[in-house]
Amino acid sequence: MVARRPVPVPPGAFVRIDGIALHVLREGSGPVVIATSGLGGAWFDWDPVAPLLTADCTVVRFDRPGLGYSEPDPRPPTLTHEADRIAALADALELPGPYVLLAHSLGAFHVEGFARMYPERTAGLVLVDPSNEERPRVRPARRARVRAARVVGGAMRVSGLARAVGPAARRSVLFTQSRRHRDVADARWVRGAYGSGRFFATALTENATYFDVAAELVDLRRVAPLPDVPLRVLAAAGGYESLAARARWVRALRTLANLSPRGRCDVLDDSAHFVMSDRPDAVADAVHEVLSGRTASGH
């Protein structure tokens, strides 16, 4: 009989929020920066960025339920749940606010929602090649979509496919969405996070509810303004899409930055979607500028 490899214990701690154990890594000292990853991401997505910040910032990275090493949430994702989760996590860790919210891709929906719902707790926003839907079309049968995503994810867990396919899926994403074409994260944590039965069910559920969360944000924008804080948007324009597609994307993210009078969009021609891997310096510079409170002078 072959003994199963023990699951390695990740750095950081586990904090129980609404009955769910969330994996959290807190490093550094100074003003608080709370970082959340994109769809299906994990705390180690920020590994290239965190060392550039921890000398003068407290960087808090966490895994959303079902991702990384966090327990899954029986509730499907909603904008309100995700924004409230960030607030509850900050309370549990007794983090002194207000905070800079740092997010990649889908995580940008959640932190913009937080800023609009908790303006007094928001010092600024840094959105790293963020998801953006100005007029999202919500698909019908949300419950059925969520159920199907979880059934497929569960089947992959039971069959053992998740352990084999998960880390390969991560490598494939990094190869197609980063100019570095390689993962800088520790292979132990990647195997544990992406080889688990949690990952596929959660990632498929986040994908299935993507437009629902986007629509929630559009509705929230109508009733809750952004606080008067610096907003930085980093637009990845060095990916492998067509030139026309990249130009459309940059225009859309400039429009997103214009939601705030203190917003600015920086275009990175040498980075694909995983800006944290391709240009960690640009991410860190944006955080430091937001922390300094400097306003944008143009787009």
What six digits make up the tokens of 25? 């890594």
Where residue 70 falls (left for φ over 0; alpha for ψ -120 to 50; beta otherwise) is beta
pTM of the predicted protein model: 0.92
| Helix-then-strand count for the chain, H and E | 10, 8
What is the C-alpha separation between 199 and 42, in angstroms, rounded? 10
So what's the architecture of 13-139+216-292 in CATH?
3-Layer(aba) Sandwich (3.40)
Q: Which amino acid is at 193?
A: A
Where residue 68 falls (left for φ over 0; alpha for ψ -120 to 50; beta otherwise) is left
Domain ranges of the chain: 13-139+216-292
Closest to 55 measured CA to CA, from 36, 35, 26, 30: 30
pLDDT tens series, the chain, 299 aa:
334 556 678 999 999 999 999 999 999 999 999 999 999 999 999 999 999 999 999 999 999 999 999 999 999 999 999 999 999 999 999 999 899 999 999 999 999 999 999 999 999 999 999 999 988 888 888 889 888 888 888 787 777 777 778 888 888 888 888 988 778 888 889 888 888 778 888 999 999 999 999 999 999 999 999 999 999 999 999 988 888 999 999 999 999 999 999 999 999 999 999 999 999 999 999 999 999 985 343 33
Q: Which residues, other chains included, contact 138 with Cβ-Cβ below 8 Å and sequence gap of 6+? A: 211, 212, 215
**Contact (Cβ atoms closer than 8 angstroms) between residue 236 and residue 272:** yes
